Amino acid sequence: MSKNTKNWSYLAGFLDGDGSIYVRIKPNKSYRFGFQIAPTIAFFQSQKEEEKLKLLQKDFGIGYLRKRNDGIVEWIIGDEQGIKTIIQNTILFLRLKNKQAKLMLEILKMKSKIKDKKDFIVLADKIELFRTLNYSKKRKKRIY
Active site residues: 17-18
Query: Are 89 and 14 in contact, with CB atoms under 8 Å apart?
Result: no
Q: What is the distance of C-alpha 107 from the center of its chain?
A: 11
Which residues does 8 contact at the CB level (< 8 Å), separation at least 6? 89, 90, 93
- Strand ranges (E), the chain: 19-27, 35-46, 64-67, 72-77
Q: What is the distance of C-alpha 17 from the center of its chain?
A: 14
The CA radius of gyration of the chain, in Å to the nearest whole number, is 16
